[in-house]
């Protein structure tokens, strides 16, 4: 597996080695020993979530109060997503900055984000499916949201899907009403 730290410290892109033959494909999506060696920390799993989205569905920006914080390990198992990580850690040198990774069923890339980072995903194809491992069980009392279209963050959201067709953004009411970064 190849690890690359994103422009946001504490966020990593992982690209697995794909082993294909006439039967199909195999890859190791997560391996604790390699993860710890590359990131310098363990990942303690407490919950696994799966989300299926139509093209244009934008989920986030979501984050958890830190502490306790929630780390996530995100993988696209079908279709494609733009995964966006936002630094929401006051005092961090990259506070308010974002970075993104294309997650799709072809590369099988994953993203890890540490506690204190915000997260959003935009589905780029109908039926796109993402699975994410979480270091903390869902705790509504710590759950927070931020507006994905905040002009201060200026996230460059794509307007076309992987098939070239225009995307119409679809967000939950909760995400539409989320507060601004400022």
User: Residues of 85-109 as b/e, b for ≥16 C-beta within 10 angstroms?
Assistant: bbbbbeeeebebebbbbbbbeebbb
Q: How many residues make up the chain in this entry? A: 182
User: With contact defined as beta carbons under 8 Å apart, do 54 and 62 qualify?
Assistant: no
Peptide bond between residue 67 and the one before it cis (omega within 30 degrees of 0) = yes
Catalytically active residues are 62, 132
Element (H, E) at 49: strand 47-53
User: What would the 3-class secondary structure string for 51-89 be?
Assistant: EEECCCEEEEEEEECCCCCCCEEEEEEECEEEEEEEECC
Residue of 75, 127, 67 whose CA lies nearest to 101:
75
């Amino acid at each position: 597996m190849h690890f690359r730290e994103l422009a946001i410290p504490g966020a990593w892109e992982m690209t697995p080695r794909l082993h294909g033959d006439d039967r199909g494909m195999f890859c190791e999506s997560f391996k604790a020993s390699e993860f710890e060696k590359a990131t310098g920390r363990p990942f303690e799993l407490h919950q696994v979530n799966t989300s299926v989205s139509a093209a244009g569905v934008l989920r986030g920006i979501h984050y958890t109060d830190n502490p306790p914080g929630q780390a996530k390990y995100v993988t696209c198992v079908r279709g494609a997503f733009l995964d966006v990580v936002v630094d929401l850690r006051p005092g961090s040198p990259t506070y308010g900055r974002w970075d993104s990774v294309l997650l799709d069923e072809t590369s099988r890339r994953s993203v890890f984000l540490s506690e204190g980072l915000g997260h959003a995903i935009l589905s780029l194809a109908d039926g796109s499916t993402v699975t994410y491992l979480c270091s903390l069980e869902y705790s509504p009392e710590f759950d927070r949201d931020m507006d994905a279209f905040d002009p201060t963050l200026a996230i460059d959201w794509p307007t076309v899907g992987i098939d070239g067709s225009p995307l119409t953004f679809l967000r939950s009411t909760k995400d539409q009403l989320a507060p601004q970064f400022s």
